Amino acid sequence: MNSNSTEPVLRVSNLTKAYGDRTVLSDVSFSLAAGERVGLMGTSGSGKSTLLNCLGGIDKPDSGSIEITGNFIQEKTADELCKIRRETVSTIFQFFHLLPTLSARENIELPLELIGIHIDERNERVQNLLEEIQLTHRADATPDELSGGEMQRVAIARALAPRPKLILADEPTGNLDSKTGESILDLLEALSQKHDTAMLLVTHSKAATRICSRTLKIHDGALETSN
Amino acid sequence: MKLQTKNLNLFSKTTLRHWKREPKNTLLLITVLALGVGVFLSIRLANRAAVSGFTLFTDSIAGESDFIVRAPIGDLPVSILPEIRDALGPLPVGIHPIIETTAARTAKTEASLYRLVGVDLVSLNNAVYLEAKSDHSKTSPPSNQPFDVKLGDSRLVLIGETMAASEGLKVGDVLPLILDDRRIELEISAILPNNPLRASIPENLILFDLPGLQKLIGKPDKISRVELKIPPGEDRQRILAETKKRLSEIAETQFAIDTPSNRESSAEQMTAAFRLNLTILSTLALIVGVYLIFQALEASVVKRRPEIAILRSLGVESWRIQRAWLFESLIIGMIGSAFGILLGYGMAQLAVGSIAMTVNTLYFENTTTAARLDSGEALFAFLFGLGSSLVAGAIPAREAAATPPSQSLKSGVRSMGLPILRKPIIGVVFVVAAIALSQLPPIRGAGDLRIPLGGYLGALFWLLGLSILAGLLFPTVRKVLMGFSSKNAPLKYAASQFRNPGGRHRLTAAGLLVAVGMAAGMAILVASFEHTLTGWIKNLLKADLYVATAGTSNIGNENLIREDTWKVVAARPEVEGVDIIRRQFIRIDGKETWLAGSVYNQNSDRRLRLIWVEKPTDPNPENLNLDLPNKTIPVWISETFGRRFSVGMDDTIELPIPDFEVTGTVKGIYADYGNERGMVVVHRDRIVTWFGDESVNNVAVYLNQGTDPETARTAFKKEFPNLVIRTNEKLRNESLTIFHRTFSVTYALEAIAIFVAVAGLGMALAGLLIDRKSELTTLKEIGFTRRQIATATLWEGLGLGIVGTLGGLILSLALGHLLIFVVNRQSFGWTLDYQIPLMSLLSLGALTIATSGIVAFCVGWFGAKLRREQEG
């Protein structure tokens, strides 16, 4: 694409979204540079999830624009949005959302298959990622055989597999104990640095923002502060 | 009372609102149950109608007789009447002599058959409450008006109101008919109105004055039977008993005493196996419907699991939730069954024609054209539907009740399904039980009825066993799908679903397996039947032309080809030789069967060859004319006769021939798929000696070498315009057409079962997608397009279709074997060659798999819109 160090990976401008009479996002604007990690904090119902859904192309904003690596996603068709989700934006979830019938390896490999990467390269990338998350020995385990921390590592590897420019991490440590949560944060930090991937980290926890260069706060759908 | 109110609230606040929100789902559920109940009821109503079409004319004209006196074979002499009168003395018993025969409307092959009944109109007028119309367009004249018939006239007849209306006949019209091999013209002299207090006058009944019909058919001193009626009164029971006693004293061998109810029940017994088979087949549609309801209710449990968990966390007891679910299935059962009754009534009208025709061809003549809604049958079907719905709802209800409150916000929790489906060892046990059960002998019911209970139970256990074992096919199917999945992410995802298939997968495959197995099993039966029948017909139909009277496809046809006619046929210059047969009803051990006298053409190699079940040591039919050393006569019997009367090779049979003491020894048993009453074959010369009648039923004509059958047929037809003359090819085709018509109801039932099963697959997949909506959202977030999600569901549907179809085809081989070698042999006594219709089975399998794929893709396309609940 057309990303470079001066161009932001993500630029959100005047984003507004309402469900009926209730405004969920109100004139939200911010941007993320390549490789930058930004925290997004807010209470329940503050509009975090809606913002993430809009950024992921799952929801459509009522007004405003979302530009990801130069592409205005609200102008894209459903298939073009799918392509963006495959190649440019990945999501990490609080509840991991691994596909339960696929092994760890297969879960990581699936996005690469969607992109159509050759099997040899696929195998190499998956193997490298398994090593990076230190789960080579658990590659053939299915999610129900993995611990919470292991599942989240696999989810991170899956998110990184297509080498996206942006990762949307939705409470990635919210369902883990504090020790495991810390290790996951370390992993996210290390891998985003290594792969030069920008990250929007949605969290309740102030501590989790330690890996971010700045933090955005959202309240009643509007951004309050920008550090 | 308080508890009931709470339940109602739970139902109205949850279930009813879900129904309102998703009316299409609810409608589908009700439709499927209605379809199941409808099919079940329609077959039962049509069966009942076909059997009830067997009525005696007195039921409709004079009310039911108390006794029927008839000869064991052939007609009674008129001289029997004074004997009976003398025997009964002063007893107040109405004696009504009756002569009966049949005639056809035209000399077409499938001409409708009329029953010509001659009664003593004077005595009947005195005894019953008849009303005659002199003009059918006006209302009936007052009762007790005498018939406007010139007594003893062989042209003047009365017909019923229904026949007059359907054929547009009125008083004074001329009705041309073919009687035996000649054309006659009758004149309608009166039209009898239907009486709401009695059975309707059969549509095909034509009433004569007794001497008129006797004269018409050339039997002035014969009657077919005597019906006796005792008037109502205090003394009736005593008179009944006394009459029976006195009749028995003079009966000896010259006549048999029967009652109308006996005759009807023997008709019912005769068709019992046939009706039982159809009922069991119709139950299939209901079973598959039950499975569908089970799927749907289970899907609703999955879908509403968060809601159930919230209710549970609010303190609603698990039994109350279970009861709410059962209540839901009860309500669905009630509504679906009620609609099913209406549907069944409508479908019965469509099915009755086909079933009545089969009964006409195989069992006895009947005139059924419409099925009546019987309240008992309707109630039975309603309760059956209701019970089925409750059974289908029981497991999902238990599952709903078992939902812990902690599951309220978890997504991706898979349904448990039936735990038994995960235990292959139980499947093996069931299969072993099935094999053991199929070895059991039949249970003997009333009359000829033999119920192959072991066979039916065997089929059920095969079905259950293979439903469980089908789960073993999933790994193979997964492996095959994975083999193609290296560049296909949707296929890989779909194949991964079979890694450790859940209860719903197993259940869906089991449902398809049952439907495909039953349908393919029936296809094997039909193919085996057809193969056997084709071979039989090929052996049987060696002649070039077949000459018969009109209405031959109807077993009740009594028309004959007179001696002077068939001898002219046989003497034609282009004729090389003929087979002739004369058959008539005979009563042995109180059961009606056929006695046939045959002579077979011995002039050429193309002679008829019977298919032997037990081959005679002397297969030359001419030698049937020679007496045996033990003073008995040699007879050949059909396989069905052997089963009905429990006789085998070298057993003896007493033949009740008036004025003759005849014992036959069985010297051959042949296969006969043309009638279910069975037949004893003797040499025709014996029949001529016993009855002094040279008439025959059919003549099979062998033409000289080089004679064109069609040219000969045209020439024959010109000379004998009132006979039906068919070429070999035409008769073969007609026989097969009748055969296929016989099975038309079966085909329709199979199609419905497959439809319901595939609908079940769609519903199951919809449930699975709801189950996996969290996964679907993940797939979308990873980058799956809607089409790819639909394609993944398509592959999954195909996988399920393959497992269900493969299992079903394996099941069909076992069921086909059971149906042919156990159920059919025990019920009907017919030996069939086991044939596997490979192309039909492959087509059925391909159709099922393809339909499964299409349904799955559609479900996936719409399911792709599902999204997980917001988290965090």
DSSP string for B255-269: -EEE-HHHHHHHHHH
Query: Under an 8 A CB cutoff, do B782 and A111 touch?
Result: yes
DSSP-derived secondary structure letter, A216: E
Mean pLDDT (whole number) for B597-618: 80
Residues B321 and B253 in one domain: no
> How many domains would you assign to chain B?
3
Query: Under an 8 A CB cutoff, do A101 and B499 touch?
Result: yes
H/E element holding B152?
none
Say whether pLDDT at B800 is over 60.
Answer: yes
Closest CA to A217 of A29, A13, A39: A39
Quick one: pLDDT at residue B21?
Answer: 72
Say whether pLDDT at B829 is over 80.
Answer: no
Asked whether residue B332 is domain-assigned, the answer is yes
- Could you identify the residue written with the tokens 């007493």? B654
Task: Quote the CA–CA distance of B814 and B818 in Å, as a whole number.
Answer: 6
B493 and chain A: CB distance < 8 Å anywhere?
yes
Asked whether residue B6 is domain-assigned, the answer is no
Query: Under an 8 A CB cutoff, do A101 and B489 touch?
Result: no
Angle, CA of A212, A218 and A224, to the nearest 5°: 95
**Gyration radius from chain B CA atoms:** 33
Query: Under an 8 A CB cutoff, do A82 and B784 touch?
Result: yes
- Structure tokens, A28: 């939200």
Mean pLDDT (whole number) for B831-835: 84
Strands (E), B295-437: none
Task: Quote the CA–CA distance of A65 and A27 in Å, as a whole number.
Answer: 10
Quick one: pLDDT at residue B842?
Answer: 92
Strands (E), B677-788: 679-683, 698-703, 724-727
Residue-wise pLDDT for B41-54, tens only, equals: 877 777 666 555 44
Instruction: Find which of B191-200, B241-250, B635-644, B746-755 is predicted with most confidence, using mean pLDDT.
Output: B635-644
pLDDT tier at B7, thresholds 50, 70, 90: low
> In angstroms, how far is CA B448 from the centroid of its own chain?
17
Interface of A with B in 1-20 (CB under 8 A): none
Residues B51 and B90 in one domain: no
Residue-wise pLDDT for B423-476, tens only, equals: 899 999 999 999 999 999 888 766 666 778 898 889 889 989 999 999 999 999
Say whether pLDDT at B142 is over 70.
Answer: no
Residues B78 and B120 in one domain: yes
**Range of lowest pLDDT (A49-53, A94-98, B534-538, B718-722):** B534-538
Say whether pLDDT at A69 is over 70.
Answer: yes
Task: Quote the CA–CA distance of B806 and B841 in Å, as a whole number.
Answer: 11
Quick one: pLDDT at residue B439?
Answer: 92
Domain edge (last residue) among B722, B752, B785: B722
Task: Quote the CA–CA distance of B257 and B243 in Å, as a whole number.
Answer: 11
Strands (E), B589-632: 591-599, 612-614
Closest CA to B103 of B91, B115, B89, B120: B115
Closest CA to B253 of B74, B98, B78: B74
Domain edge (last residue) among B663, B688, B722: B722
- Structure tokens, B336: 């679906």
Residue-wise pLDDT for B491-535, tens only, equals: 988 988 888 787 778 888 888 888 888 888 888 887 887 888 778
User: What residues contact B138, with CB distance under 8 A and at least 6 apart?
Assistant: none
Quick one: pLDDT at residue B838?
Answer: 92
Quick one: pLDDT at residue A3?
Answer: 40
Task: Quote the CA–CA distance of B504 and B567 in Å, as a whole number.
Answer: 72
Quick one: pLDDT at residue B668?
Answer: 93
**Range of lowest pLDDT (B3-7, B203-207, B393-397, B431-435):** B3-7
Closest CA to B756 of B840, B839, B848: B848
Residues B585 and B655 in one domain: yes
Assess contact for A108 and A162: CB atoms under 8 A.
no
Quote the domain boundaries for residue B593.
562-722
A110 and chain B: CB distance < 8 Å anywhere?
yes
Asked whether residue B689 is domain-assigned, the answer is yes
Chain A residues with CB-CB distance to B872 below 8 A: 44, 48-49, 94, 170-171, 174, 204
Selected for mutation to probe chain A from B478, B500, B778 (highest A CB count within 10 Å) is: B778
Residues B45 and B127 in one domain: no
Mean pLDDT (whole number) for A108-135: 90
Residue-wise pLDDT for B672-712, tens only, equals: 876 677 899 999 899 898 888 888 888 888 888 888 989 99
Asked whether residue B182 is domain-assigned, the answer is yes
Quick one: pLDDT at residue A40?
Answer: 93
- Structure tokens, B757: 């099963």
Query: Under an 8 A CB cutoff, do B781 and A85 touch?
Result: yes
DSSP H helix total and E strand total for chain A: 6, 10
B774 and chain A: CB distance < 8 Å anywhere?
yes
Q: Which of B782, B786, B871 sits opposite A85 (nearest CB)?
A: B782
Residues B633 and B680 in one domain: yes
Asked whether residue B592 is domain-assigned, the answer is yes
Query: Under an 8 A CB cutoff, do A86 and B783 touch?
Result: yes
Mean pLDDT (whole number) for B263-273: 56
Task: Quote the CA–CA distance of B30 and A218 in Å, as a whole number.
Answer: 49
Chain A residues with CB-CB distance to B782 below 8 A: 85-86, 90, 110-111, 114, 158
Task: Quote the CA–CA distance of B382 and B384 in Å, as a whole number.
Answer: 5
Asked whether residue B557 is domain-assigned, the answer is no
User: What residues contact B196, with CB distance under 8 A and at least 6 apart?
Assistant: none
Query: Under an 8 A CB cutoff, do A49 and B872 touch?
Result: yes
Chain B residues with CB-CB distance to A174 below 8 A: 872
Mean pLDDT (whole number) for B349-359: 65
Quick one: pLDDT at residue B98?
Answer: 87
Query: Under an 8 A CB cutoff, do B782 and A110 touch?
Result: yes
Q: Are strands B67-70 and B256-258 parallel, antiparallel or unpaired?
A: antiparallel
- The mean pLDDT of chain B is 78
Selected for mutation to probe chain A from B478, B782, B870, B871 (highest A CB count within 10 Å) is: B782
Quick one: pLDDT at residue B55?
Answer: 45
Distances, alpha carbon B417 to alpha carbons B301, B652, B684, B863, in Å: 11, 60, 67, 21
B329 backbone φψ class: left, alpha, beta (φ>0; ψ -120 to 50):
alpha
Quick one: pLDDT at residue A216?
Answer: 92
Residues B179 and B123 in one domain: yes
Mean pLDDT (whole number) for B751-773: 73
Say whether pLDDT at B33 is over 50.
Answer: yes
Residues paired with B156 in a beta bridge: B187
pLDDT tier at A173, thresholds 50, 70, 90: confident
Say whether pLDDT at B571 is over 60.
Answer: yes
Length of chain A: 227
Distances, alpha carbon B320 to alpha carbons B6, B11, B303, B401, B407, in Å: 9, 10, 18, 8, 18
Say whether pLDDT at B14 is over 70.
Answer: no
Other C-beta atoms closer than 10 Å to the C-beta of B689 total 12
Residues B197 and B248 in one domain: yes
Quick one: pLDDT at residue A47?
Answer: 87
Amino acid at A98: L
Other C-beta atoms closer than 10 Å to the C-beta of B233 total 10
User: What residues contact B313, with CB distance under 8 A and at least 6 apart?
Assistant: B405, B408
Asked whether residue B406 is domain-assigned, the answer is no
Task: Quote the CA–CA distance of A114 and A82 in Å, as a whole number.
Answer: 10
Amino acid at B262: N
Assess contact for B169 and B206: CB atoms under 8 A.
no
Q: B318-362 vs B2-10: helix axis angle to the nearest 10?
A: 80
Residues B235 and B110 in one domain: yes
Domain edge (last residue) among B700, B722, B744: B722
Task: Quote the CA–CA distance of B285 and B276 in Å, as a whole number.
Answer: 15
Residues B576 and B637 in one domain: yes
Task: Quote the CA–CA distance of B415 and B766 in Å, as a whole number.
Answer: 13
- Structure tokens, A207: 């501590």
Residues B166 and B304 in one domain: no
**Does the ipTM surpass 0.85?**
no
Residue-wise pLDDT for B770-791, tens only, equals: 777 778 888 888 888 889 999 9
Asked whether residue B429 is domain-assigned, the answer is no
> What values do phi and psi take at A98, rounded to 5?
-80, 150
Q: Which of B492, B779, B780 sits opposite A113 (nearest CB)?
A: B492
What pTM does this model have? 0.69
Quick one: pLDDT at residue B269?
Answer: 55
Residues B211 and B300 in one domain: no
Task: Quote the CA–CA distance of B747 and B525 in Å, as a whole number.
Answer: 12
Say whether pLDDT at B11 is over 90.
Answer: no
Give the largest Cα separation in chain B, rounded: 103
Instruction: Find which of B47-51, B239-243, B263-267 is predicted with most confidence, using mean pLDDT.
Output: B239-243
